[in-house]
């Protein structure tokens, strides 16, 4: 048997054996996509298992994350995980979880599973590579994706691919496991796009591989690498190839069980199901290992790149920010400081930089200026979030993205993945309350504070003024292990003496201590009124602009004030002043009054509660 | 001046005058898209202002919702709103809010503004029409959309259009206000898709109108109506046409101010800015009014259609559901009851019906079976949600959609619009906790309960067993003014004697009253353990499967138990047992134990708190 075939069979049998042993997982893609996986890894990928973090390695993203067993079988051939790891597939505490998890398994470049996002993450990786290559000539690698039919139906994938086409990220290569089957039905029952036309329409090179064999796929990958455009390779495969129910959705997500013998027989597999033939290891020694270790040896890292990659020091932000201005404006000034004082702060907005004041440095990132760190994402919020994840995953970037707070909704799935992966992405959300005013309920966040505070692992900060804005950005930029979302006002605020750029970083903190039994608790634009009323009525005041930390006050005599949902605020106070309905369209101040959040109404309401 | 020109000028001047008076709004689209608006309304649209709810009217959706001033100027010509309403544009309490709001302004068919969703809502309306037409021959109308460049960059629009192409919704006609300008830049800086190719790739008729005049647009609309496919008409326009800064992003979103005189002069407008010339009213009397009132007169409503449309009675669900099974399975049985006992229950899944058990009746909706009420949405969660909104907006449908709970993230923006519009959409979310098990953190909801409980206007229910499932569906199906989300288990549960399909509808309720000072508070799959432990330890137990309603117990001595974020639960109890990190991949029971949510651990933790 030729070594390629043996390697493919090894991937197949090891993979479906892992699924069988776990009695859970997806055998269909293992059998259908093993050939493209092997072809890519053995013939093209630059990835040295001895240096899995080598900066100039090709990146490989399994966007069809449910195919994790296939990826693990591959990583086992590379020696990155052991036979036992493979046998522990999907077991609690193993390094081979149900979907690939970044940081859990060596060789896994991104957490994937939620469909479409892997493609967008890969676009982010390719963006990072393209930008770095313009600064450091020695950077020059490909980003490969393996995706399924479901990925291509997701809007986030289409947004990201449209961006990649526009940006002409020519070193991005997507391999499409085109098996005509999805979970509920044949693909043709729900999707009849002409992929060739669509790819050409969006600026991709389209390559069709009708014969699912090593030579054909190899040829396609060679063409793709030579193309001056990003490439999309549609490879016709058979889901669950070799199983009795091959070509049907029944082999997608259920273990083969006893039918594994059908495959074993068809492939003439005479070993233990988890066996790794030495010929396969030899093949990889002669190909991937050799090619990649040479690439590592030959790589000459410039001092400049070394400096970029090792820059890990905490930054202190020194900006003279004017008082009493909208926090989005203060934010814009801090962003300029970051643009001027860092090299890894990169990002932009979903076509709202004029409003969010969030622009990256060095001009617009485009084909003429790859050094640009201001990325025009277009009106593609979800892809923007996922692309930022890819930027962060690449190496040492601190990506930021920006839109109106209400549209955090569109990006939430990417924010969740950033939180799971502990990526230091900064989300800059302006227009953070009903104070948006005239644009009305569709543009006025209500429940979004609760949505992000309840998301594990993310810092959520809603600064009251420029002091807290600076603290928020120091926390965000210096973060190593978590994303940070910053909610900012559209309207001018009242700057406070008592706010602190350092205290806010630790969580909530007391601003006014009148030793009263009553405490006013507020964040963002409501804090100024809380402080002023606390002073007048001799109460205490606490900032929950960063809501973390212990609660060191009597919550039974605390009143929370926030221009958003009161959901979650009973933790901080028994009385909650907020908005549990949708907003209104009208002049901001009038809307604020309508919801009885202006100072006069607040004072009245607070006095009523206390008395 | 010919009447068409005068009408277009009226739209333009009235529209930009409203923006100027509000000192807020978007003049660019008013000036750029007035011609297509007038052409559609005067020459094609069947919409009788005297019968704005006429069932067989054409539907018009302004997906570019920021163009509300243009729509209001048009509605004012139709007599649906007054000159004063137009003058009150964007004022608090007016019926002319910043973005069009359904239910607020006669003639507004959907709330729009969040980009991309208007297109998807229109796809839902066209789906509704296509389905109804197969049952009631007298139904036969078009759905028109006016969209901008930003709409087309949003994934949700691409998902929905891909669906429309596959379903060949030939009476859907999208007019694209193609002005080459978006907020931050020229469109070409962020988007270089070949729209003609892309539309052909997805099964749309593509028509280019290079000359922005009535006759050219009229011709294009005629062709589109004749086409056997859904149509996309790209109309080249000039944003802010006639203003000094026409053709730039500066006229997009800022009032023209004094520059309005430039436009007034260019158009030879010699009247008050809010004047409506009688020639324009006459033109509309002779066209839209005449055409549409005839359509209303000629419409013969069958008894069957009348019955369908007037069916508004509350349904009681009678199903014998087995005990101790996964609530998704109980849910599937209730859905079958609804399929068999209603005509307006329609929906499906984003390619997960095998797992969610949520299938509509009458077979698959497709070109061969338009009567089908099982819609295969494909892996397009966001579009699925927005299409459901369109179904609900059309007339008397009760749409449902289904996916894994964790992917409610992808759909959240559409759920928000459903809540704002008070649409009776039912969201069926299965796999509702870490009990998902092997699929790991990307597939295990944590913060999603908080995300939906904090969303205003939606019912969120997480039933504990088949009794509560039935109650949840009675609430959902009979809802007139709010969407309902139902979170269901993947795993089997323990059925309870004490649950109630009627009590759950009012909110939380007491299951066990041992007159203890301590109360256990739980929802969904955690309720069985709470009840069993309450019995053993002589405590009280409350179901917050529907968390609404008053809190009638001592929260200082209450312990909440929920397999999700504890955020928001301090309202119900001072002690919160839950999960404030991401999940784990492993066998469901083991993961449950890992998070100390199994009965033994729970009992121990509860005893520790009490003692």
ipTM above 0.90, yes or no: yes
* Contact across the interface for A352 and B184, Cβ inside 8 Å: yes
The series of mean pLDDT values per 10 residues for chain B, 611 residues long, is 96 98 97 98 98 98 98 98 98 98 98 98 98 98 98 98 98 98 95 98 98 98 98 98 96 96 97 98 98 98 97 94 98 98 98 97 98 98 98 98 98 98 98 97 98 98 98 97 98 98 97 97 98 98 96 97 98 97 97 98 98 92
Beta strands B509-512 and B540-543 are antiparallel
* Contact across the interface for A591 and B92, Cβ inside 8 Å: yes
pLDDT higher than 90, residue A512:
yes
CATH number for the domain that contains residue B540: 3.40.50.920
Q: Are residues A181 and A249 in the same domain?
A: yes
Question: Could you count the other beta carbons within 10 Å of the beta carbon of residue A195?
Answer: 18
Measured CA to CA, the distance from residue A26 to residue A98 in angstroms comes to 9
Beta strands B398-404 and B426-430 are parallel
Which active-site residues of B does the annotation give? Answer: 381
Q: Is B496 domain-assigned?
A: no
Share of chain A above pLDDT 90, in %: 100
E runs forming strands in A405-547: 426-430, 459-461, 484-487, 509-512, 519-522, 540-543
Q: Is A500 domain-assigned?
A: no
Helices (H), B538-586: none
* Contact across the interface for A92 and B451, Cβ inside 8 Å: no
E runs forming strands in B503-577: 509-512, 519-522, 540-543, 558-561, 575-577
CB A153 within 8 A of CB A49: no
Chain B contact set for A195 (CB, 8 A): 201
Measured CA to CA, the distance from residue A158 to residue A383 in angstroms comes to 8
* Contact across the interface for B587 and A249, Cβ inside 8 Å: no
Which of B431, B509, B463 lies closest to B334, judged by CA?
A: B463
Burial B318-348 (b: 16+ CB within 10 A, else e): ebebeeebbbbbbbbbbbebbbeebbbbbbb
Residue that the structure tokens 């009840």 belong to: B531
Beta strands A540-543 and A509-512 are antiparallel
* Contact across the interface for B92 and A586, Cβ inside 8 Å: yes
Q: Is B82 domain-assigned?
A: yes
Cα distances (Å, whole numbers) of residue A299 to A132, A294, A397: 15, 8, 21
* Contact across the interface for B451 and A456, Cβ inside 8 Å: no
Which chain A residue has its CA at the smallest distance from B116's CA?
A379
Mean pLDDT for A14-43 is 98
Of B98, B409, B570, the CB nearest to A585: B98
Chain B contact set for A581 (CB, 8 A): 456-457
Q: Which two tokens stand for residue B33?
A: 């898209």
Q: Are residues A443 and A563 in the same domain?
A: no
Task: Assign A530 to helix, strand or coil.
Answer: helix
Measured CA to CA, the distance from residue B392 to residue B476 in angstroms comes to 13
* Contact across the interface for B454 and A594, Cβ inside 8 Å: no
Task: Give the total number of structural domains in chain B.
Answer: 3
CB B317 within 8 A of CB B334: yes
Q: Which two tokens stand for residue B325?
A: 């099974």
Of A155, A249, A352, the CB nearest to B155: A155
Which residues are CB-neighbours of A304 under 8 A, at least 6 positions away? A135, A136
Q: How far is A513 from chain B (nearest CA, A)?
A: 25
Chain B contact set for A111 (CB, 8 A): 441-442
Instruction: Number of helices (H) and strands (E) in chain A: give both, helices first.
Output: 23, 16
Determine which of B71, B89, B92 to mutate to test the interface with A (most A C-beta atoms within 10 Å).
B92
Q: Are residues A130 and A56 in the same domain?
A: yes
* Contact across the interface for A570 and B565, Cβ inside 8 Å: no
Mean pLDDT for A31-57 is 98
CB B32 within 8 A of CB B146: no
- The reported pLDDT for the residue numbered A463 is 98
Q: Is A303 domain-assigned?
A: no
Chain centroid to Cα A151, Å, comes to 16
Helix (H) or strand (E) holding A279: helix A278-284
Of B24, B352, B584, the CB nearest to A92: B584
Of A98, A155, A419, the CB nearest to B440: A98
Which chain A residue has its CA at the smallest distance from B440's CA?
A98
Q: Is A496 domain-assigned?
A: no
Q: Are residues B118 and B197 in the same domain?
A: yes
Q: How far is B295 from chain A (nearest CA, A)?
A: 34
Q: How far is A473 from chain B (nearest CA, A)?
A: 24
Which chain B residue has its CA at the smallest distance from A150's CA?
B379
Chain B contact set for A437 (CB, 8 A): 24
Measured CA to CA, the distance from residue B124 to residue B232 in angstroms comes to 16
Cα distances (Å, whole numbers) of residue B179 to A355, B224, B236, B237, B248: 21, 21, 6, 5, 9
Burial B278-296 (b: 16+ CB within 10 A, else e): eebbebbeebbbebbbebb
Measured CA to CA, the distance from residue B199 to residue B145 in angstroms comes to 15
Determine which of A156, A158, A374 to mutate to test the interface with B (most B C-beta atoms within 10 Å).
A158
* DSSP letter for each residue of B181-196: B-SSSBGGGT----HH
Strand order in the sheet with A59-62: A59-62, A143-147, A172-178, A231-236, A205-209
CB B62 within 8 A of CB B114: no
Residue that the structure tokens 């919020």 belong to: A381
Cα distances (Å, whole numbers) of residue A360 to A75, A443, A488, A490, B269: 37, 25, 18, 20, 44
Q: Are residues B316 and B180 in the same domain?
A: no
Q: How far is B597 from chain A (nearest CA, A)?
A: 15
Which residues are CB-neighbours of A388 under 8 A, at least 6 positions away? A124, A347, A399, A400, A401, A414, A418, A423, A425
Helices (H), B479-539: 527-537
Q: Which of B433, B457, B487 is the last residue of a domain?
A: B487
Interface A:B, Cβ pairs < 8 A: 337
Q: How far is B590 from chain A (nearest CA, A)?
A: 7
Q: Are residues A321 and A282 in the same domain?
A: no
pLDDT digits (tens, 9 = 90+) for B295-354: 999 999 999 999 999 999 999 999 999 999 999 999 999 999 999 999 999 999 999 999
Boundaries of domain holding A588: 506-610
Q: Which two tokens stand for residue B453?
A: 């409980």
Q: Are residues B249 and B324 in the same domain?
A: no
Q: Is A492 domain-assigned?
A: no
CATH number for the domain that contains residue A129: 3.40.50.970
Chain B contact set for A202 (CB, 8 A): 193-194, 198
Q: Are residues B163 and B245 in the same domain?
A: yes
Burial A283-307 (b: 16+ CB within 10 A, else e): bbeebbbebbbebbeebeeeeebee
Q: Are residues B127 and B203 in the same domain?
A: yes
CB B357 within 8 A of CB B327: no
CB B41 within 8 A of CB B292: no
Chain B contact set for A412 (CB, 8 A): 409, 412
pLDDT higher than 90, residue A242:
yes
Task: Assign B520 to helix, strand or coil.
Answer: strand
Chain B contact set for A587 (CB, 8 A): 91-92
Cα distances (Å, whole numbers) of residue B296 to B52, B53, B107, B127, B290: 10, 11, 16, 22, 10
Determine which of B117, B180, B379 to mutate to test the interface with A (most A C-beta atoms within 10 Å).
B379
* DSSP letter for each residue of A344-400: SEEEEESS-HHHH----SSSB-BTTBTT--EEE--S-HHHHHHHHHHHHHHSS-EEE
pLDDT digits (tens, 9 = 90+) for A350-397: 999 999 999 999 999 999 999 999 999 999 999 999 999 999 999 999
Q: Are residues B175 and B273 in the same domain?
A: yes
Q: Are residues B461 and B548 in the same domain?
A: no
Chain B contact set for A71 (CB, 8 A): none
Measured CA to CA, the distance from residue A68 to residue A72 in angstroms comes to 6
- Is A279 a residue of the active site? no
Q: Which of A298, A323, A347 is the last residue of a domain?
A: A298
Q: Which of B435, B459, B487 is the last residue of a domain?
A: B487
* Contact across the interface for A158 and B159, Cβ inside 8 Å: yes
Of B111, B351, B353, the CB nearest to A442: B111
- The reported pLDDT for the residue numbered A535 is 98
Chain B contact set for A453 (CB, 8 A): 567
Of B166, B437, B454, the CB nearest to A447: B454
Chain B contact set for A383 (CB, 8 A): 155
Chain B contact set for A585 (CB, 8 A): 90-92, 94, 97-99, 101
Q: Which two tokens stand for residue B387?
A: 């299409």
Of A376, A420, A580, the CB nearest to B441: A420
Measured CA to CA, the distance from residue A125 to residue A394 in angstroms comes to 6
CB A33 within 8 A of CB A309: no
pLDDT tier at A273, thresholds 50, 70, 90? very high
Which three-class secondary structure string do you get for B312-357? Answer: CCCCCCCCCCCCCCCHHHHHHHHHHHHHHHCCCEEEEECCCHHHHC
Q: Which two tokens stand for residue B512?
A: 């066990």
Measured CA to CA, the distance from residue A385 to residue A408 in angstroms comes to 9
Which of A560, A548, A543, A552 lies closest to A499, judged by CA?
A: A543
Measured CA to CA, the distance from residue B189 to residue A182 in angstroms comes to 36
CB A33 within 8 A of CB A177: yes
Measured CA to CA, the distance from residue A121 to residue A111 in angstroms comes to 10
Of A165, A182, A351, the CB nearest to B182: A351
Of A381, A440, A453, the CB nearest to B567: A453
- The reported pLDDT for the residue numbered B1 is 86
Which of A61, A63, A251 lies closest to A147, judged by CA?
A: A63
Q: Is B303 domain-assigned?
A: no
Query: What is the sign of the dihedral through the CA atoms of B601, B602, B603 and B606?
Result: positive
Q: Are residues B26 and B97 in the same domain?
A: yes
User: What are B62's strand-pairing partners?
Assistant: B146
CB A572 within 8 A of CB A541: no
Instruction: Note if the pTM is more than 0.95.
Output: yes
One of A109, A205, A381, A562 is an active-site residue; which one? A381
Determine which of A252, A410, A564 to mutate to test the interface with B (most B C-beta atoms within 10 Å).
A410
Q: Is A304 domain-assigned?
A: no
- The reported pLDDT for the residue numbered A458 is 98
pLDDT tier at A1, thresholds 50, 70, 90? confident
* Contact across the interface for A193 and B162, Cβ inside 8 Å: yes
- The reported pLDDT for the residue numbered B197 is 98
* Contact across the interface for B99 and A585, Cβ inside 8 Å: yes
Write down the mean pLDDT value for chain A: 97
Measured CA to CA, the distance from residue B137 to residue B393 in angstroms comes to 20
pLDDT digits (tens, 9 = 90+) for A143-192: 999 999 999 999 999 999 999 999 999 999 999 999 999 999 999 999 99
pLDDT digits (tens, 9 = 90+) for A286-298: 999 999 999 999 9
* Contact across the interface for A113 and B195, Cβ inside 8 Å: no
Mean pLDDT for A494-518 is 97
Torsion of CA A87, A92, A95, A96, to 10 degrees: 50
Which of A323, A371, A348 lies closest to A497, judged by CA?
A: A323
pLDDT digits (tens, 9 = 90+) for B80-108: 999 999 999 999 999 999 999 999 999 99
Determine which of B147, B440, B560, B576 to mutate to test the interface with A (most A C-beta atoms within 10 Å).
B440
């Amino acid at each position: 048997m030729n070594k390629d075939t043996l390697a493919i069979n090894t991937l197949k049998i090891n993979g479906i054996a892992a699924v069988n042993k776990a009695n859970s997982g997806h055998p269909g893609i293992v059998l259908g996509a093993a050939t493209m996986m092997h072809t890519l890894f053995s013939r093209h990928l630059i990835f040295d298992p001895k240096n899995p973090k080598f900066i100039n390695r090709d990146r490989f993203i399994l966007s069809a994350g449910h195919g994790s067993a296939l990826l693990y079988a591959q990583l086992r051939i590379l020696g990155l995980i052991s036979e036992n790891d493979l046998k522990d597939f999907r077991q609690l505490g193993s390094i081979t979880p149900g979907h690939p998890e970044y940081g859990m398994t060596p060789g896994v470049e991104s957490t994937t599973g939620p469909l479409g996002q892997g493609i967008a993450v890969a676009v982010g990786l390719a963006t990072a590579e393209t930008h770095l290559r313009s600064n450091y000539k020695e950077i020059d690698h490909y980003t490969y994706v393996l995706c399924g039919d479901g990925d291509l139906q997701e809007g986030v994938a289409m947004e990201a691919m449209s961006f990649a086409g526009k940006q002409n990220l020519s070193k991005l290569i997507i391999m499409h496991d085109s098996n005509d089957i999805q979970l509920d039905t044949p693909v043709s029952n729900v999707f009849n796009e002409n992929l060739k036309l669509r790819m050409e329409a969006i600026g991709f090179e389209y390559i069709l591989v009708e014969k699912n064999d090593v030579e054909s796929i190899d040829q396609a990958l060679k063409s793709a690498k030579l193309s001056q455009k990003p490439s999309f390779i549609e490879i016709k495969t058979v889901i669950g190839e070799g199983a009795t129910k091959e070509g049907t959705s029944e082999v997608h997500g259920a273990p083969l069980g006893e039918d594994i013998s059908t495959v074993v027989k068809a492939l003439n597999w005479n070993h233990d199901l988890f066996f790794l033939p030495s010929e396969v290891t030899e093949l990889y020694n002669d190909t991937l290992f050799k090619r990649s270790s040479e690439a590592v040896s030959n790589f000459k890292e410039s001092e400049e790149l070394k400096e970029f990659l090792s820059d890990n020091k905490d930054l202190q932000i020194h900006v003279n920010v004017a008082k009493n201005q909208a926090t989005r404006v203060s934010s814009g000034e801090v962003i300029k400081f970051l643009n001027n004082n860092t090299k890894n702060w990169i990002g932009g907005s979903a076509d709202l930089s004029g409003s969010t004041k969030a622009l990256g440095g060095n001009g617009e990132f485009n084909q003429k200026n790859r050094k640009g760190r201001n990325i025009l994402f277009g009106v593609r919020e979800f892809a923007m979030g996922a692309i930022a994840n890819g930027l962060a995953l690449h190496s040492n970037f601190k990506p930021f993205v920006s839109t109106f707070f209400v549209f955090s909704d569109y990006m939430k799935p990417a924010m969740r993945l950033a939180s799971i992966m502990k990526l230091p992405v900064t989300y800059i959300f302006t227009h953070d309350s009903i104070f948006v005013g005239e644009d009305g309920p569709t543009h006025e966040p209500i429940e979004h504070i609760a949505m992000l505070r309840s998301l594990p692992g993310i810092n959520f900060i809603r600064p009251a003024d420029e002091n807290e804005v600076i603290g928020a950005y120091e926390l965000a930029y210096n973060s190593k292990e978590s994303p940070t979302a910053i909610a900012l006002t559209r309207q001018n605020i009242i700057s406070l003496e008592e706010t602190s750029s350092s205290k806010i970083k630790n969580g909530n903190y007391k601003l006014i201590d009148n030793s009263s039994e009553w405490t006013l608790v507020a964040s963002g634009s409501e804090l100024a009124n809380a402080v002023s009323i606390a002073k007048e009525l001799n109460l205490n005041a606490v900032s929950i602009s960063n809501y973390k930390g212990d609660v060191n006050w009597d919550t039974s005599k605390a009143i929370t004030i926030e221009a958003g949902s009161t959901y979650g605020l009973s933790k901080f106070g028994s009385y909650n002043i907020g908005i549990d309905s949708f907003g209104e369209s009208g002049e901001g101040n009038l809307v604020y009054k309508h919801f009885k959040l202006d100072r006069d109404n607040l004072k009245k309401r607070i006095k009523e509660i206390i008395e």
